[in-house]
Amino acid sequence: MSNIGERISTRRKELKLTQTAVAAMIGVSSASLTYWERDEIEPKNKNLAALARALDCSPDYLLHGATSGKQGSVASVHSRVPLINWDTVLESGVDKEECAEDWLYYPKQCGRKTFALIVNNDSMVSPHPNSKSYPIGTIIFVDPDLPIKAGSRVIAQVGNAAQVTFKEYREDGGNSYLIPINSQYPTTTVDDDTVLIGTIIGSFMAE
């Protein structure tokens, strides 16, 4: 199997892009790209993610040669995730990939139906500075195929509401609840009309 430098170079040439063009797309010098392709330096973190976007592939492919299982495909189905809006979550029969507003990369293996949302209220903001919190603007990754357990952070539709909510799922005394981190928001009892859509598997907040 080829190394990362060879994969970068091969993919760049497949797209008929020059080193200068790719470097400009990701905001680094042409020299940096030369170092990467020669395996003198390995791209890390944000540079790796930006390089993968520029080359229309996944970080997994660049690092390990991972593919989707289709001949010639370089995009890993486990890491390339559609970012959608909250209304799209409730639209049955809609292909979330076709409704993607953007594409993000999740750094670990995840389910094929995983999607991302941007937190749009402060119900999951903790009043305690050292506690896990999800401020407005946080990107959350949702896996609908992952089993929901007590303590999971979840996306759910409550009753006939034409919107979904982001809360923590808890069980107590034979009942189940959707609980906000921010106590100014109400706790909701999970009943027969509640649809648990998916489990939060990760989050990201840009600096």
* Cβ atoms < 10 Å from Cβ of 81: 26
pTM for this model (two decimals): 0.65
Query: Is 121 in a helix, a strand, or coil?
Result: coil
Domain ranges of the chain: 4-64, 80-204
Task: Give the span between the Cα atoms of 162 and 178, in whole angstroms.
Answer: 17
Does 77 score more than 70 pLDDT?
no
pLDDT at res. 95: 74
Does 72 score more than 50 pLDDT?
no
pLDDT at res. 112: 81
Does 68 score more than 60 pLDDT?
no
Task: Give the span between the Cα atoms of 113 and 22, in whole angstroms.
Answer: 30
* Residue among 45, 3, 6, 51 at smallest CA distance from 28: 51
pLDDT at res. 76: 41
Enter the tokens of residue 44: 């890390």
Give the least confident one: 100-104, 128-132, 176-180: 100-104
pLDDT tens digits, 115-131: 999 999 999 999 888 88
The one-character DSSP state at 171 is E
Summarize the confidence of residues 83-92 as an average pLDDT.
87
- Contact call for residues 118 and 142 (beta carbons, < 8 A): no
Q: In CATH, what number does 80-204 get?
A: 2.10.109.10
Task: Give the span between the Cα atoms of 106 and 143, in whole angstroms.
Answer: 11
Which of the following CATH numbers is that of domain 4-64: 3.40.50.970, 1.10.260.40, 3.30.465.10, 1.10.150.20?
1.10.260.40
